[in-house]
Amino acid sequence: MATQEPRPESKIKLRRQVTAWGSFTWGYAGIGADVYVALGLVIAAAQGATPLAFAIAGFVYIFVGLAHTELAAAYPVAGGGQYFAYRGMGDFWGVVAGAALMLDYTIDIALFAMASAGYINFFFPAIREFAVHLGPFKDVNLVWLAESLFFIACLTVLNIKGVRESSLFNEILGVLDMAMEASIVVLGFAFAWRPDLFLHQWTTEFPSTKQILYGVSIAVISFVGMESVSQAAEETIRPGTVIPRTSLALIIVVLLFAMAFPVVSLGILPWQDLAMREGDPVAHLASQLPYIGFLAGPIAAILAATIVLISANTGVMGCSRLAYSMSEMGLIGKWLSQLHHKYHTPVRAILVFAGVAALEAVFGFMTGDRALGTMADMYAFGAMLAYLLASAALIALRIKEPHIPRAYRVPYNIQWRGLDIPIFGIIAVLGTGGILIVVLWTHAVARIMGPLWILGWVAYYAWYRYRQKLPIFRSTQHDWDAEQLQILSDTGEWEMYEQFKIEIERKKKNGNSAVRTAAP
């Protein structure tokens, strides 16, 4: 088995500046904004069954969120789900997980930049309805496209400057957004919600099973973003302590909002009204509130534009840190891992993948009035594949590395050969695998472009490993215990560090060394 070159000591490292609140708002920016985009798309597909579609997606999200909580707290490094798959299942699956996440993050940048512009266009109906024909491409909104590309450029500059500035941006707007979402839900239920309208749509506007499943496959994008907490782990202060609190709070808050919006919406408006406003559904909903709708609509549009923009900002942060991590692991070229000498950010990775996101935005608008839907299709594919592999990695790492100290453990385990196998991890694998199958069945664009994206990354990986004289389908050697000690030392988790050292020594004295030198 070939041996990977040891990582050289970097003179410049990612700064550890993200606080507990910053970690929460990074996650909320990645997840909480998704309902602004998903609501109109899901209602257009699931109609009166929209709450059911969100409930099924939310059920899977709970178990995926718990899996990520354990993994991110135990392995707080940049890379998130990609690192978990790499460490638990080997180099090849680490690349596949990285490719899925990179698709997710670049689509996140494009989709939410487009959505931010869409909410701004709440004030400019002429722009929202503008369309031209460009040869074979029909109904292309060039003005909306230009707005989206402008936002992507601004976020690129922001992330080159530094994670502290990006995190502060998230924290301020995250507070405003949570207050706005809560206000819409509370005021909607109190003054505008009609139980008879909700029940009428639930009983008479139920679509076919395939449409409901399509709605579920879109509703999952309301819960995509837990990964961003993992991605920021290497820049989070005391991640072993902070991440469990952050992640568990996010699971509860996001689930409540994601379930409340479709229920309140179908009790205020016919589903057709919101389906026609895919670009700004929450602002349109707020504008229909009695007494304050004339003011709530514009305020909701402004805050929605900002919160979806910080979700795009989280995407830039995520893809750049992911590329940095994969480069440091020797899975892709070292060129992308270079940090800016002043700002300590992976500037090359930021520029490259922000550029990819811009191209994806152009591709989306070339599909005409389905621009947001096209991006959402691809987003769902990348998210479910990445979550499937991360959930599988939880089980693999429980088996391979049972001695690793875990600040949080997924509850409810079954004993197998002296090991704790998480039942919720198994449910997460089955749930994400099932939704991935639904995505491939119901999304024509994702069915073609998603696998092609993954194959392109695998081809590059094979070429790179061949050039480096490293195995393609086998893994390089790793002293995972030594690496884990370094991780715990870097994060300042000294209690876990000492606990792990004692565990290693105990196993050595028993003649059963904990050092595992090879991935599968």
Q: For residue 519, name the pLDDT band (cuts at 50, 70, 90).
A: very low
Q: Give me the phi and psi of 252, to 5 degrees please.
A: -70, -50
Whether the CB-CB separation of 154 and 170 falls below 8 Å is answered with no
| pLDDT for 133 beyond 90 | no
Whether the CB-CB separation of 72 and 230 falls below 8 Å is answered with yes
Domains and CATH numbers, the chain: 20-63+78-371+427-447 (1.20.1740.10)
Rounded to a whole number of angstroms, the distance between the first and last alpha carbons of the chain is: 11
Q: What is the dihedral of CA 450, 435, 93, 71, to 10 degrees?
A: 130
pLDDT digits (tens, 9 = 90+) for 436-480: 999 999 988 899 999 999 999 999 999 999 998 888 888 888 888
| pLDDT for 513 beyond 50 | no
> What tokens were used for 159?
């992330």
Contacting residues for 483 by C-beta, under 8 A, at least 6 apart: none
Q: Give me the pLDDT at residue 114, please.
A: 93
Residue 417's CB is within 10 A of a number of other CB atoms, namely: 6
pLDDT digits (tens, 9 = 90+) for 149-193: 999 999 988 888 765 545 566 666 667 778 888 889 999 999 999
- Which residue's entry shows tokens 């969100």? 54
Whether the CB-CB separation of 77 and 323 falls below 8 Å is answered with no
At residue 193, the 3 state secondary structure works out as coil
Q: For residue 1, name the pLDDT band (cuts at 50, 70, 90).
A: very low
Pick the closest to residue 16 from 204, 238, 198 (CA basis): 238
Average pLDDT over residues 483-496: 82
DSSP, res 242: H
> What tokens were used for 348?
């090359």
Q: Give me the pLDDT at residue 153, please.
A: 93
DSSP, res 41: H
Strand 413-416, strand 132-134: pairing: unpaired
pLDDT digits (tens, 9 = 90+) for 50-97: 999 999 999 999 999 999 889 988 888 767 789 999 999 999 999 999
How far apart CA 30 and CA 21 sit, in angstroms, is 14
At residue 477, the 3 state secondary structure works out as strand
pLDDT digits (tens, 9 = 90+) for 202-219: 999 999 999 999 999 999
Strand partners, 132: 140
pLDDT digits (tens, 9 = 90+) for 111-124: 999 999 999 999 99
Whether the CB-CB separation of 227 and 68 falls below 8 Å is answered with yes
pLDDT digits (tens, 9 = 90+) for 271-325: 999 998 888 899 999 999 888 888 889 988 988 888 888 788 878 878 887 887 7
How far apart CA 39 and CA 133 sit, in angstroms, is 28
Strand partners, 415: 420
How far apart CA 247 and CA 463 sit, in angstroms, is 37
Output the pTM of the full model.
0.86
DSSP letter string, 298-341: HHHHHHHHHHHHHHHHHHHHHHHHHHHHHHHTTSS-GGGGPPPT
> What tokens were used for 76?
């707080």
Distance set, CA 318 to CA 231, 233, 311, 452, 501 (Å)? 6, 11, 10, 22, 31
Pick the closest to residue 470 from 278, 314, 332, 343 (CA basis): 332
For the ranges 33-47, 134-148, 234-248, 366-380, the lowest mean pLDDT is seen at 234-248
> What tokens were used for 458?
């695998």
